[in-house]
Amino acid sequence: MISRSTSSTNLEGTTISQVQGNIEFRNVYFSYLSRPEIPILSGFFLSVPARKTVALVGRNGSGKSSIIPLMERFYDPTLGEVLLDGENIKNLKVEWLRSQIGLVTQEPALLSLSIRENIAYGRFATFDQIEEAAKTAHAHGFISSLEKGYETQVGRAGMALTDEQKIKISIARAVLSSPSILLLDEVTGGLDFEAEKAVQGALDVLMLGRSTIIIARRLSLIKHADYIAVMEEGHLVEMGTHDELLNLDGLYAELLRCEEATKLPKRMPTKNSRERKSLQFEDPPISQNFQESSSPKMAKSPSLQRTHGMLQFWRSDTTRNSHDSPKDRSPPPEQTTDNGIPLVATERAPSIKRHDSFEMELPNLPKVDIHPIQRQSSKNAGPDSPISPLLTSDPKNERSHSQTFSRPQSERDDTSSEQSEPDELQHHKPPSFWRLAALSIAEWPYALLGTIGAAIFGSFNPLLAYTIALTVSAYYQIEVSDMRHEVNRWCLFIVGMGVITVLVNWLQHFYFGIMGEKMTERIRRMMFSAMLRNEAGWFDKEENSADTLSMRLANDATFVRAAFSNRLSIFIQDTAAISVALLIGMLLGWRVALVALATLPVLVISAIAQVIQPEGFLVCSIISLSP
């Protein structure tokens, strides 16, 4: 996974020379990887004309918030396609696509940098351009009032600024990028009236001449949108202007009445039963019964359930020009009420009409489980090696979630058993020594000094044995003076070896330690970069949670150091000891040295068995003691 290239820097794909801004969601099915059994979008159609503003509204859990990650290609649809100027966005370069999109959210992502750096983040812009963008976003006034102006540090996550100021900085960032498409996600949802009014003025300037998609819960803010699309359980159920949808008296009108009911004063006298029914929502906590249920079907308030009239949706031509407005997609203008009384058609007939029965006339597409392979691989994952699979995976075998989503059910069923075995083998594959060596090439000066220290330290063991033998032989001297002289000489030699041993031992561990730390830091950076290159759906897996990934960043790189740096030091030390011992043996008596050399394989095997055998006894003891 470390070697895997990110899709955003992939040179493959096309670009559009002149972006008009026609956006179309065509028969889109989608569910999140963490909850594949819960459909978010089911046969979703939406057309956003160029340079028009479309607001998406609906109850919580209707699927409107999933439009933004699909448009940004954080996720890919399970089925269907998303088009930009008639081109499937899967065929476009991700980096280029995201450069054409400006995103402003209720909680903007600000870095712990200055205001100037946050506005210009990721772009080369002069100070005049940054200042002009801030003026357009109505942010120049409060920035100039700060002591350090544009060099003011925003603090961690923008804690030094108010919500209004953070949103204005985010708008200035979007103005500076000059996107063709603008995505607004609940921008003013958490602001008070005065701040909301100021931010809305900046947004109105930003939306001019751009295709805009607004995700909104406060319906009073999107009355002037060119089109309003109403979603329910992943479907588009109504679309039109504010007046058209009010005349339609459908879900949009129902939601608007409920929002107005929450603003009424408590215990306000009512005049009729309809008004008394609306007053059930005067308390804000009660109005929050639109919260998403844990079940696939969303729990609705009884007061909001539609018991009369359902919807029917026509789609005659899915290949119609994306420049057509939603008006061109509308069904015939006839409308009837629940009692059969015809309604007067508006000037612009809405695209969705009310009938006595509910029916979605969409292509019969199979309900498929889109994530069997991911769940199977996650169940089979359980590597024995402490080294992370990030270091052992083959980048050729990595598949994006979009490829998995686009595969038909039969193909996935046929290959699920074949995929599980290679994945399991891949997880159990031990890390390559040569790959670890390649990762440490940058630290070759430290490795060289550490190798010198390890080789000298390892050679002292056979030299010490030979020196002790010479010391013992000195006691066989006939003359006492000669014996004392020889013994003193070899004793001083041993003392000198002890002093040198301390120095070379420090040299070995110090420089191999530096080598290991630098390699650990590099691998940790590579692992973190590889994690960030994954699709958003990769983080939905349970084994890729934030806690698990943090633990892997902390532990796996340390395991690599133990597997390579420490073992390399011991290997060089032992190799030097064996080489010097054989050299001394060959010089003193080559026949005896060859006999000793013949026993070396036996010694190696016994050493390995000595390490393995206690582990076997430990496993047997655990099994025998387990209930």
User: For 224-247, what is the mean pLDDT?
Assistant: 90
Distances (CA, A) of 35 to 4, 30, 300, 380, 536: 26, 11, 20, 19, 14
pLDDT attached to residue 49: 92
pLDDT attached to residue 355: 38
| Three-state DSSP class for residue 138 | coil
Gyration radius (Cα) of the chain, Å: 36
C-alpha angle 457/463/467, rounded to 5°? 135
Of 81, 56, 50, nearest in space to 181 by CA: 50
Of 290, 313, 402, nearest in space to 46 by CA: 313
User: For 70-86, what is the mean pLDDT?
Assistant: 91
User: For 495-517, what is the mean pLDDT?
Assistant: 85
pLDDT attached to residue 560: 72
Strand arrangement of the beta sheet that strand 79-84 belongs to: 41-48, 23-30, 79-84, 87-88
SS3 content of the chain, % helix, strand, coil (to 5): 55, 10, 35
Which parts of 391-517 are beta strand (E)? none
Cβ density class 525-540: b for 16+ within 10 Å, e for less: ebbeebbebbbebeeb
Query: Is 80 in contact with 29 (CB distance < 8 Å)?
Result: yes
DSSP code of 344? P
Of 106, 129, 105, 43, nearest in space to 78 by CA: 43
Q: pLDDT tens digits, residue range 97-120? A: 988 998 888 888 888 888 888 888
pLDDT attached to residue 429: 56
Q: How far is CA 279 from the centre of its chain?
A: 44
| Cα–Cα dist 214/162, whole Å | 22
Which tokens hold the place of 543? Answer: 């084994």
Percent of all residues in the chain with a pLDDT value above 70, rounded to a whole number: 67
Query: Is 265 in contact with 282 (CB distance < 8 Å)?
Result: yes
Which tokens hold the place of 509? Answer: 């561990």
What is the pLDDT confidence band of residue 616, given thresholds at 50, 70 and 90? Answer: low
Q: pLDDT tens digits, residue range 381-404? A: 444 433 444 444 443 443 333 333
pLDDT attached to residue 26: 92
Of 369, 307, 363, 312, nearest in space to 338 by CA: 307
Of 565, 434, 438, 457, nearest in space to 511 by CA: 565
pLDDT attached to residue 230: 92
492, pLDDT greater than 50: yes
| Cα–Cα dist 422/399, whole Å | 13
95, pLDDT greater than 90: no
Q: pLDDT tens digits, residue range 29-44? A: 998 887 888 889 999 9
N- to C-terminal Cα separation, the chain: 40
| Three-state DSSP class for residue 204 | helix
pLDDT attached to residue 23: 93
